């Protein structure tokens, strides 16, 4: 039996039926990582083989005794290297935390362990989650499994690539402005950003506190739902995590089978989405998805999000302001890199942060510091908060007319490594469709919707009201089935023999 590219749900069924063991599944995943990660560079740290197999065997024993802790117990998973783990270093893709070992585990890491998933390692990312291509990692870029000369997207490029190449069926990333949805689109997998406050941020190294959410990657909407069930829920250690109860997301999907997820659903398509820069093949994929949805019983209408054009500016002021403060702790005093101590305290601060941070991180810290600084706060940060409020209200008004908003995830398929690095602003503009969901705290999912003529994946994005993940997942699940774009395998990474 081979396991590469099998959905988590299928693996779970195999495990439950005794057709497979976790040991075999985990061993196969480790083998596949060992064979393929050199080309991909998705992983920054991989579990010790013996330890991982021991945990897998333990899950097999628990299952045999009738005590499997969850449906996904025994299934391997990778997580982005900005969630702290005692078992692995946490670098956030940065020199300033190279080799850093946290003395505690993130809340999601605890939940995964309690649910019996087997954590196989940490994945590559843009430094401190700042980027849309994973080219800003201090440890080298991750490559897109569909074309190794292209980016997998970012900042959660490692996790997306790992799932896309069938290394593991499940992975976690974090999404602040699209850092899970965009790589999902560029790599041809499913990526869901939950509503803000759905998943605990305790242990997620902060980039932009009011925008960050830990987000699942998988090969199907159902798998994402299963994983979301495990990581979602109020955590007393995160004051921004919400009281909302966690429904059985996957069960709700089963109930919405046979396309019921789309019947009678009102879908809005914002007219502000159709701007210059939107690749015609991406636009075509979106229109096809809308046709498919209509055929399944959904109604589609235009909506307007008039402040959407200001979204990028708004995001890049708020996110960078929060980041400039969140990253002040990296100063060479308590952990991480320290250089320049011989030039005194101030010299140490300046030199450590010069050597430890890459150019993009520096750019964003400077922009954020500027936006908060005396004399500029009102015009920059203050104004951005006001516009954020307007964007929130635009969505609230739209959701009075429709239940879901559909559109592109990214304006283009995967671009070449190095293609957008000369001009940071160009890179920022590619977040246009994803970052509004973070600003408005909405859940959003990207599902594969087809491929370009060059064979590169194209995703579509669906957004819903806060905490309306059940409707979002049901509709996405129905659309996924009809679009028939899921489960594609990059030719360069065939399944195991």
Partner 1 sequence: MVGAPRYEAVIGLEVHAQLLTKTKIFCACPTRFGAGANTQVCPVCLGLPGSLPVLNEHAVALAIRAALALNLTVEPRSIFARKNYFYPDLPKGYQISQYAEPLARNGWMEIGDRGAGASVGPASGATAGAPRRIRIHRLHLEEDAGKSFHPEGGGDESLIDLNRCGVPLIEIVTEPDLRTPRGAGEYVERLKEILEFTEVCDGNMEEGSLRCDVNVSVRPAGATALGVKTEIKNLNSIKGVVAGLEAEIARQTRVLAGGGAVVQETLLWDARREVAVPMRSKEEAHDYRYFPEPDLPPLVVTPAEIERARRSLPELPAARRARLVAAFGLTPYDAGVLTATRALADYYEAAVAAYDPAKGAAAAKRVANWVQGEVLRLLKDGNRDIGAFRVAPSGIADLLRLLDAGEVSNLAAKGVLAEMDAKGICARAAMEAGGHRQISDEGVLREAVRRVIAENPDPVAQVRAGKEKTFAFLVGQVMKATRGTANPALATKILREGIGKS
Partner 2 sequence: MGISRDEVFRVARLAHIDLTAAEAESLPAQLDRIVEYVRQLEAVPPAGGEAAFETPRTPLRADEPGPCLPMNDALGAAPARRGDLLAVPRVIGGEDSA
Q: Which residues contact partner 1 by CB under 8 A?
A: 83-84, 90, 92, 97, 100, 102-104, 106, 201-206, 208-210, 236-240, 321-322, 324-325, 327-329, 331, 333-335, 345, 349, 369, 372-374, 377, 381
The token pair at 398 is 């739209």
Residue 329 interaction partner, one of partner 2, partner 1, none, beta carbon < 5-8 Å per kind: partner 1
Residue selected from 207, 273, 357, 415 as contacting partner 2 according to rule CB under 8 A: 357
Q: Of the candidates 353, 420, 471, 477, which one interacts with partner 2 according to CB under 8 A?
A: 353
Yes or no: say if 101 and 86 are a contact pair by the CB < 8 Å rule. yes
Tell me if residue 420 is catalytic: no
Among 268, 232, 269, 228, residue whose Cα is nearest residue 250: 228
Could you tell me how many helices (H) and strands (E) the chain has, helices first?
16, 11
Please say which residue, 160 or 435, places its beta carbon nearer to partner 2: 435
The one catalytic residue in 94, 133, 155, 156 is: 155
Is 305 an interacting residue with respect to partner 2 (CB under 8 A)? no
**Per-residue interface string for the shown chain with partner 2, residues 61-100, x marking contact by CB under 8 A:** ---------------------------------------x
- Min dist. Cβ of residue 237 to partner 1 (A): 6
Write the interaction track for partner 2 spanning residues 391-410; mark x where CB under 8 A is met and - where it is not: -xx-xx--------------
**193: annotated active-site residue:** no
Q: By CB under 8 A, name the one of 94, 123, 307, 461 that touches partner 2.
A: 307
Minimum CB separation from partner 1 for residue 322, in Å? 6
Cα gap 358→436, rounded to integer Å: 26
Q: From the candidates 94, 179, 185, 430, give the one annotated as an active-site residue.
A: 179
In 258-295, which positions are buried (b, 16+ CB within 10 angstroms) versus exposed (e)? ebbbbeebebbbbebbeeeebeebbbebbebbbebbee
Q: Is 446 helix (H, G, I), strand (E, B) or coil?
A: strand
Cβ closest to partner 1, residue 204 vs residue 445: 204
Choose which of 177, 178, 332, 448 interacts with partner 2 (CB under 8 A): 332
Q: Is 387 one of the binding residues for partner 2 (CB under 8 A)?
A: yes
Q: Which H, E and C letters describe 95-160, residue by residue? A: HHHCCCCCCCCCHHHHHHHHCCCEEEEEECCCHHHCCCCCCCCCCCCCCECCECCECCCCCCHHHH
Residue closer to partner 1, measured from CB, 103 or 280: 103
* Residue 244 or 283 with smaller CB distance to partner 2: 244
Collapsing DSSP to helix, strand or coil, 35 comes out as helix
Q: Does 101 bind partner 2 (CB under 8 A)?
A: yes
Active site residue 155: yes
Q: Is 390 in the site for partner 2 (CB under 8 A)?
A: yes
Segments in 301-382 forming alpha helices (H): 311-326, 344-356, 359-372
Number of residues binding to partner 2, judged by CB under 8 A = 66
CB 133 within 8 A of CB 141: yes
CA–CA dist 311, 288 (Å, integer): 26
Is 450 an interacting residue with respect to partner 2 (CB under 8 A)? Answer: no
Task: Quickly list DSSP for 248-310.
Answer: -HHHHHHHTTTTTTTTT-EEEEEGGG--TT--HHHHHHHHHHHHHHHHTT-EEEEE--TTGGG
Closest by CA to 472, choosing from 440, 447, 438, 435, is: 447
Cis link prior to 289 (omega < 30° from 0)?
Answer: no
Q: Does 329 bind partner 2 (CB under 8 A)?
A: no
What's the farthest any 2 CA atoms get from each other in the chain?
70
Q: Is 427 in the site for partner 2 (CB under 8 A)?
A: no
How many CA atoms are closer than 13 Å to the CA of 56, on its beta-carbon side?
A: 24
**Residues annotated catalytic, as ranges:** 80, 155, 179
Which residues of the chain form contacts with partner 2 (CB under 8 A)? Answer: 100-101, 103-104, 197, 236, 239, 242, 307, 310, 312-314, 316-317, 324, 328, 331-338, 341-351, 353-354, 357, 359, 362-363, 365-367, 369-370, 373, 379-380, 383-384, 386-387, 389-390, 392-393, 395-396, 423-425, 428, 441, 466
């Amino acid at each position: 039996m081979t396991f590469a590219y099998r959905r988590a749900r299928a693996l779970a069924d195999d495990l439950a039926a005794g057709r497979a063991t976790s040991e075999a599944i985990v061993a196969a995943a480790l083998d596949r990582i060992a064979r393929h990660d050199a080309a991909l560079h998705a992983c920054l740290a991989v579990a010790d083989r013996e330890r991982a197999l021991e945990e897998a065997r333990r899950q097999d024993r628990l299952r045999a005794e009738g005590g499997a802790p969850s449906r996904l117990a025994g299934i391997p998973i990778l997580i982005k290297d900005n969630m702290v783990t005692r078992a692995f270093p946490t670098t956030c893709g940065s020199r300033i935390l190279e080799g850093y070992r946290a003395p505690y585990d993130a809340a999601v890491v605890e939940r995964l362990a309690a649910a019996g998933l087997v954590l196989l390692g940490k994945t590559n990312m843009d430094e401190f989650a700042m980027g849309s291509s994973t080219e800003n990692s201090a440890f080298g870029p991750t490559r897109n499994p569909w074309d190794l000369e292209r980016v997998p997207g970012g900042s959660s490029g490692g996790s997306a690539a790992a799932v896309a190449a069938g290394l593991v069926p499940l992975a976690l990333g974090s999404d602040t402005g699209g850092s899970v949805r965009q790589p999902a689109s560029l790599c041809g997998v499913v990526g869901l950003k939950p509503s803000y406050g759905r998943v605990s941020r305790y242990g997620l190294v902060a980039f932009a506190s009011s925008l960050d959410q830990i987000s699942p990657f998988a090969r199907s909407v159902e798998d994402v739902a299963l994983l979301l069930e495990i990581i979602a829920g109020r955590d007393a250690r995160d004051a921004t995590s919400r009281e909302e109860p966690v429904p059985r997301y996957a069960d709700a999907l089963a109930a919405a089978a046979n396309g019921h997820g789309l019947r009678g659903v009102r879908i809005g398509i914002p007219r502000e989405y159709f701007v210059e820069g939107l690749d015609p093949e991406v636009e075509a994929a979106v229109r096809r998805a809308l046709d498919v949805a209509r055929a399944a019983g959904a109604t589609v209408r235009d909506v307007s999000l008039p402040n959407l054009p200001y979204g990028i500016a708004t995001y890049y002021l708020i996110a960078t302001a929060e980041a400039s403060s969140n990253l002040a702790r990296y100063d060479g005093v308590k952990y991480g890199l320290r250089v320049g101590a011989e030039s005194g305290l101030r010299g140490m601060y300046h030199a450590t942060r010069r050597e430890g941070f890459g150019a993009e991180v520096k750019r964003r810290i400077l922009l954020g510091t500027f936006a908060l600084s005396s004399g500029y706060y009102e015009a920059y940060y203050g104004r951005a908060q006001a516009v954020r409020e307007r964007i929130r209200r635009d969505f609230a008004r739209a959701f009075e007319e429709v239940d879901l908003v559909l559109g592109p995830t990214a304006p283009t398929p995967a671009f070449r490594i190095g293609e957008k690095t000369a001009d940071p602003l160009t890179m920022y503009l590619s977040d246009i469709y994803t970052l509004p969901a973070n600003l408005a705290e909405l859940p959003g999912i990207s599902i594969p919707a087809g491929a370009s003529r060059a064979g590169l994946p194209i995703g579509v994005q669906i957004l819903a009201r806060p905490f309306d993940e059940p409707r979002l997942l049901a509709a996405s699940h129905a659309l996924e089935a009809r679009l028939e774009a899921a489960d594609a395998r990059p030719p360069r990474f065939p399944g195991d023999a």
